[in-house]
Amino acid sequence: MNTASITLLSVWLFLLVVIIVMTIIDLITPKVFKPGDNLNRTEKKQVKRTIAAGPLAEYKHNRLFRTSIYGGILSILIYLFALFAMVLDHFVLSMGLIALAAALYPFLGVMLPSFQYKYWLKHEPSDFTLLAQDKFSKFIILRVILTACVIGLFLLPAVFYEQFLAIFVAIISKIMGY
């Protein structure tokens, strides 16, 4: 392998490690909406429904909320097209579509939680507590960085297909002993 291939592989592996670390951090961070501690399981389920249903009343009036929902639906459709392209052995197209769908993640992963957070700040819930404003900002920044890394992770193999194929063949031949 030449130095360009090693550099490309290093960047890709770095993005993969960053995504894994950020996903772990995202799982560890407190949730934006935390149900009260004194609630039982059914009451907590009702609180989760309330969190989702509260902003639905403003669906017709708020373009940001509608845009986030439509962007999420479009992202899911693009993921399905990517899966279909993968089944038809169109690897480059599939990776490009996955990168495009990942680029639409901010609609569901950033805009929707932001809208819900702003909605519940105005309506002051009694059954659950909200994350502090500074922690919520860090939460959103983490999600944006995670999105950028996922886009890079899937876009690199699509753009540098031949180099990744050569790297893959070299790694497999080393493992198999050829």
Highest-pLDDT range among 82-86, 158-162, 170-174: 82-86
How many residues are listed for the chain in this entry? 178
Sequence-ordered list of residues with C-beta below 8 angstroms from that of 140, at least 6 positions apart, any chain: 110, 113, 114
Mean pLDDT of the chain: 81
- At 120-146, the pLDDT tens digits run 788 777 777 788 888 888 888 888 888
Q: Where are the domains of the chain?
A: 3-176
| Distance in Å from the first CA to the final CA of the chain | 14
31 φ, ψ (degrees, to nearest 5) = -70, 155
- pLDDT of residue 81 exceeding 90: yes
- At 4-46, the pLDDT tens digits run 777 877 887 888 888 888 778 777 777 777 777 777 778 777 7
84 φ, ψ (degrees, to nearest 5) = -65, -40
pLDDT computed for residue 56 by the predictor: 67
Burial 15-45 (b: 16+ CB within 10 A, else e): beebbeebeeeeeeeeebbebeeeeeeeeee
> pTM of this prediction?
0.71
- pLDDT of residue 55 exceeding 70: no
What percent of the chain stands above pLDDT 70? 93
Output the CA angle 9-10-15, nearest 5 degrees: 100
- pLDDT of residue 1 exceeding 70: no
Long-range contact list for 117-122, CB < 8 A, 24+ apart?
A: 117/32, 119/54, 119/55, 119/58, 120/33, 120/51, 120/54
- pLDDT of residue 112 exceeding 90: no
pLDDT computed for residue 120 by the predictor: 79
pLDDT computed for residue 77 by the predictor: 93
pLDDT band at 80 (very low <50, low <70, confident <90, very high): very high
Burial class (CB in 10 A: 0-12, 13-18, 19+), 127: middle
Closest to 35 (Cα-Cα) out of 130, 158, 156: 130
